[in-house]
Amino acid sequence: MRDATLRDVAELAGVSPRTVSNVVNGYAHVTAATREKVERAIAELGYRPNVLARNLANGRSGQIAVVVPYLDTPYFAELLQAIIPAARKSGYNVLIDQTDGDRQHEGELIRRGSRGFLFDGMIISPLGLSQQDLSVRDLSLPLVVLGERVCDGTFDHIGIDDVAASQDAVSHLISLGRKRIAAIGDQPYATGEAAQLRTRGFHNAHAAAGLPVDESLIIRTPRFNRADGATAMAALLDRDDPPDAVFCYSDLVASGAIHTILERGLRVPEDIAIIGYDDIEDGRYSHPTISTISPDKTAIAQLAVERLIMRISGPQPVAGVELLAKHRLIPRQSTLGRS
Amino acid sequence: MRDATLRDVAELAGVSPRTVSNVVNGYAHVTAATREKVERAIAELGYRPNVLARNLANGRSGQIAVVVPYLDTPYFAELLQAIIPAARKSGYNVLIDQTDGDRQHEGELIRRGSRGFLFDGMIISPLGLSQQDLSVRDLSLPLVVLGERVCDGTFDHIGIDDVAASQDAVSHLISLGRKRIAAIGDQPYATGEAAQLRTRGFHNAHAAAGLPVDESLIIRTPRFNRADGATAMAALLDRDDPPDAVFCYSDLVASGAIHTILERGLRVPEDIAIIGYDDIEDGRYSHPTISTISPDKTAIAQLAVERLIMRISGPQPVAGVELLAKHRLIPRQSTLGRS
DNA sequence: GTTGGCATTTGCAGCGCTGCAAAGGACTAT
DNA sequence: ATAGTCCTTTGCAGCGCTGCAAATGCCAAC
């Protein structure tokens, strides 16, 4: 049978459709008697407002898009897990998009491609987009950018202090007496900003300790995944002078690196200490457990949603702000050993 | 500035709005000349069809909901990663919902709660819902159920042959000469159907090999996560007669179990062999790598989307079918050792 | 008794698009 | 010349809801 509409309810309750709408939307000036009549009719007919029609009428979709490069990367999955409830609490649905880090795809999204009317705003964690790409986007799209990007003032940006966090990680390795420290995950190109910040933190930590940096120990990888970590680590181990510690730019990289080390019969952390980045659940259960930098994901999610909704409902344009969530160092077995 | 509408384009091109609509939708009988005129106008105005309005007009939302218990469980993340492109290829957007396995939440969804008009159909991987819950759903909602559930004929169901797969896993352990084999992940209650099927496979394998089953080695867990695996394994190790192999009902459980074993200074697989289920990426890089049952996730995703779309567009009602995707045993270090 | 003010309810129009069916036009067959 | 056919384009109405502003009713105040 056809779904009940506002009009059906109105008829049954003996009021105008507009009044039913008022009741449904919690409009203040409705007498208790009317409200009750209407509510009874609603219950009787099993009426549910048609979100589509509502959205069309008021020009809002009630959905926000969250765009990540890879859904199956634990860090993003965990972040999404936090974003969805935060958005729902504010009455928004989340539309998830994965781009595989494809610049074109990401570009189409921020220019509001074919599906542009489907969401009121977007939280994006760009991988392929450069700073420049971001500035030619559809400016009418409320946007919050996650991850390390310098903010150009037209959108909001939320992340953690990558330089400081990386410095913390490397200082931790140094404090354990490690001298030859490698880094896995540097990226030279325009879109590798996050990587570059981490590399800067790597240098800072050395400088702070008066330790020289062996540039050849900074390994570049195309992505931050396990396979890249494993490969890069293999290259390091093939050298005559392998490192005694490695700062990995993600926990996945760390996981791959550890895999390679153990495969070769070496020990973590006795032979080589490893620290990662992101604090994914995996690292708390792997063997050894992985020391890491833990960004406050809940805070990031919360901030991102709040900020986006503010942009959606508030008057445009608002100057973009840069918000930093907290992070902390979590030492585990991969640096401390089994205690 | 206001977005261009169909009418704007029509005016500029000097045709009726309906004709523009025809062009946009690729209606066959439009002369090349007209089509070109319209297309030029579209380009000039930067017109993009308003999906919301379109959906309202034709009564379709163009979105399908995919409901999983936990987004950050690698298995579901990997499955989603496969479902999204499959759906998009057919012109559908995916709306992701996580329920935390909450029965109420899942129940509201399949009864088409408040957001009911937002999607045309649903793919759900239920955790809290029992067979009975599923049958009182909104029957007008095209539904595809994932995971192990017996199909009641009103919806489609897609999974793998859990009993056979589990039997394969346990037979593998037996073929390696293991005698005291434990199982972690059994669930007695109505919603633990998947677990019960796996337990049945566990029994079958023993029977096939003429090996007795020690029922006390079948450990129940509330969920299939790492923490549960770790706890259950600890209980097994605390016994006077610990097992020499464990069949874990998910790779996460296996990961947790391995964690515990290694923490206690025992070796995998020398002391205890472990096999998991799901083939998540994690297990290919952990140490040791985890032997597992690999369900064909791409096939599951493909089948689920195809079947759902068929239900959405086809004439209702169609009898529910039971589709099985392939699975295979992937032996790795956690049973074979380092080769 | 009348007026003003407020609480409550209503009608209208329209969000931007498509389904439907029919009108118009060109062409062929009779 | 006329009817029949097919291709192309069009108009109408309406999907179900809300913004807006006006209408209605009620009460206190004059």
Residues A277-325: pLDDT tens digits? 999 998 998 889 999 999 999 999 999 999 999 888 876 567 788 899 9
Distance CA B250, CA B119 (A): 31
Residue A150 — very low, low, confident or very high, per pLDDT cuts 50/70/90? low
The pLDDT-based confidence of A271 (bands split at 50, 70, 90) is very high
Other residues' Cβ atoms within 10 Å of the Cβ of residue A89: 10
pTM given for the model? 0.86
Instruction: Say if the Cβ atoms of B115 and A262 lie within 8 Å.
Output: no
Chain A residues 68 to 107 whose Cβ lies within 7 Å of strand D are none
Phi and psi, residue B69, nearest 5°? -70, -45
CB contact under 8 A, B287 and A286: yes
- What is the pLDDT at residue A306? 93
The segment with the largest mean pLDDT, out of A31-45, A132-146, B63-77, B235-249, is: B235-249
Position B112 pLDDT exceeds 90: no
Hey, are the CB atoms on A74 and B72 less than 8 Å from each other? yes
The Cα angle at residue A136 between residues A135 and A138, in degrees rounded to 5: 105
Place of tokens 């549960």: B228
Query: Among A29-38, A73-82, B327-336, where is mean pLDDT lowest?
Result: A29-38
Nucleotide nearest to B38 (CA to C1'): D9
Task: Identify the residue whose Cα has the smallest distance to the C1' of C18.
Answer: B57
DSSP type of residue A213: P
- How would DSSP label each residue in A113-181? -TTGGG-SEEEE--SS--HHHHHTS-TTS-EEEESS----SSSEEEEE-HHHHHHHHHHHHHHTT--SE
Task: Identify the closest residue of chain B to A229 by CA–CA distance.
Answer: B285
Looking at the DSSP bridge assignments, the partners of residue B96 are B66
Nucleotides of C under 7 A from a protein CB: 7-12, 14-20
> What pLDDT is recorded for position B332?
97
Task: Give the other-Cβ count within 10 Å of A325's Cβ.
Answer: 18
Chain A positions in Cβ-Cβ contact with residue B81 (cut-off 8 Å):
70-72, 98
Q: How many residues does chain B have?
A: 339
DSSP secondary structure string for all residues of B124-161: E--SS--HHHHHTS-TTS-EEEESS----SSSEEEEE-
Helix spans in chain B (H): 6-13, 17-24, 32-45, 51-58, 74-89, 103-110, 131-135, 162-175, 193-209, 226-237, 251-263, 282-285, 297-313, 333-336
Q: What is the mean pLDDT of residues B113-122?
A: 79
Write the residue in A51, A117, A281 that is nearest to B50 by C-beta.
A117
Would you state the pLDDT for residue A313?
A: 80
Q: In whole angstroms, what is the distance from residue B281 CA to residue B157 CA?
A: 25
Is B95 in contact with A93 (Cβ distance < 8 A)? Answer: yes
- Could you give the CA distance from residue A268 to residue A123 in angstroms, rounded to a whole number? 38
Q: Which of A255-264, B120-129, B198-207, B257-266 has the lowest mean pLDDT?
A: B120-129
CA distance B193 to A56: 42
Say if CB A85 and CB A79 are below 8 A apart.
Answer: no
Q: How far is A276 from chain B (nearest CA, A)?
A: 15
Residues A226, B286: C-beta atoms closer than 8 Å = no
pLDDT tens digits for B282-311? Answer: 899 888 999 999 999 999 999 999 999 988
More confident: A55 or A326:
A326
Nucleic strand D near CB of residue B140 (< 7 Å)? no
Instruction: Specify the 3-state DSSP secondary structure of B168.
Output: helix
Residues 37-56 of B with CB under 7 A from strand C: 47, 49-50, 53-54, 56
Quote the minimal CA–CA distance from B297 to chain A in Å: 13
Q: What is the pLDDT of residues A114-128, one digit of tens each?
A: 567 889 999 999 887
* Nucleotides in chain D near protein beta carbons (<7 Å): 7-12, 14-20
pLDDT tens by residue, B37-53:
889 999 999 999 998 89
Which residues make Cβ contacts (< 8 Å) with residue B232, sequence separation at least 6?
Answer: B184, B185, B219, B221, B253, B256, B257
A115 touches strand C (CB under 7 A): no
Any strand D atom closer than 7 Å to A49 CB = yes
- A34 CB below 7 A from strand D atoms: no
Scored b (16 or more CB within 10 A) or e, B68-92 reads bbbbbbbbbbbbbbbbbebbeeeeb
